[in-house]
Amino acid sequence: MTTNPIIDVLLAPDVTTEWVVPGFIPRGSLVLLVGDAGVGKSLLCYHIAMAVATGQPALGFPAMSPQRVVYFDQENARPDRDQYLRYVWHGLGCPSLDLIAANLWVVHFELGTRLWPERVRAEIKAHAADLVIIDTATPAFGIQDENSNGEATTAIGHLRELGRIRPCAFLVLKHARVDRDRDSQEPRYTIRGAKAWKGASDAVIFHLRAAGRPSGNLYTTILRPDKVRAFGLRGQVYVKPEIVPGPGIRLRTSITDLSGVINPTPRQPESKVRPQADRGHPTPSDTPSHRRLPDAPPDGPRITTHSDPADR
């Protein structure tokens, strides 16, 4: 008697997954972090890298034993990179240098040619990487036409192949594109460039600046998922940076249920009324959604983790 394998799947125990950052980055996944230049993507990722490498909570998510991280920085000048690392280290409470030496490697401006897959492959093998961070996609992969789906598909194919070396996760940084609705001027956030990136990735997370004034030139930001598969981020994360001695930057984070969406709900064709802004609050054109993004919640569960300023 022939057995349909789908029946075995349906009757099997619940599927579980392994995590690099529990609830945020599944092992074996391709995650895109998308945001404007200057919102803080690079420093946020240096925080994730050092927290994962030293076994500390990353952005308020549960800590795990130390894991190995390779960070390919094709975006930041060396003085900026070095200062970011110092900010993060002090912000995390100066974790063990031995753990950092054993688990974190930064490869600076060594990609950008057609040989980039071989360079990434060598680092994954040499360090048995659990997490690979690529900052930022277009310069790292030597993409000539950012709008080319062909070039994007080729880069994604290389990443999938590299992921078969060992079950590591890829966190790839991309710039956002902001469009304005002609009637309302509300911003609409998408991935800048080829559409293939969103279709082929496992998760897309937008890194957005929250409403409100900065504190010491540091802005509260929001991580909000735009795409997720079976496993991944399903809430939004408010990230509030604080300056600490060192100097360092500690991140206070609050993880909440997802409310709203990245892009505004399409208007009905007959509606011509623009929403009124509350006195003292930004107009819809200042916010990344059809509703004003609040500042980090004043009450409710707040998880303190560590480190980072608003950078790129």
pTM metric for this prediction: 0.81
Q: What is the pLDDT of residue 275?
A: 41
Q: What is the pLDDT of residue 179?
A: 82
Q: What is the pLDDT of residue 124?
A: 98
Q: What is the pLDDT of residue 256?
A: 83
Looking at domain 18-257+283-304, what is its CATH homologous superfamily?
A: P-loop containing nucleotide triphosphate hydrolases (3.40.50.300)
Q: What is the pLDDT of residue 86?
A: 97
Q: CB 217: neighbour CB atoms within 10 A?
A: 9
Q: Which residues of the chain fall below pLDDT 50?
A: 259-312
How far, in Å, CA of 262 to CA of 1, rounded? 50
Q: What is the pLDDT of residue 1?
A: 52
Parse the chain into domains and list their residue ranges: 18-257+283-304
Read off the pLDDT of residues 74-104 as tens digits, 9 standing for 90 and up: 999 999 999 999 999 999 999 999 999 999 9
Q: What is the pLDDT of residue 311?
A: 43
Q: DSSP per residue over 63-96, as a string?
A: P-S---EEEEESSS-HHHHHHHHHHHHHHTT---
Read off the pLDDT of residues 261-308 as tens digits, 9 standing for 90 and up: 444 434 434 434 444 444 343 333 333 333 334 444 443 333 333 344
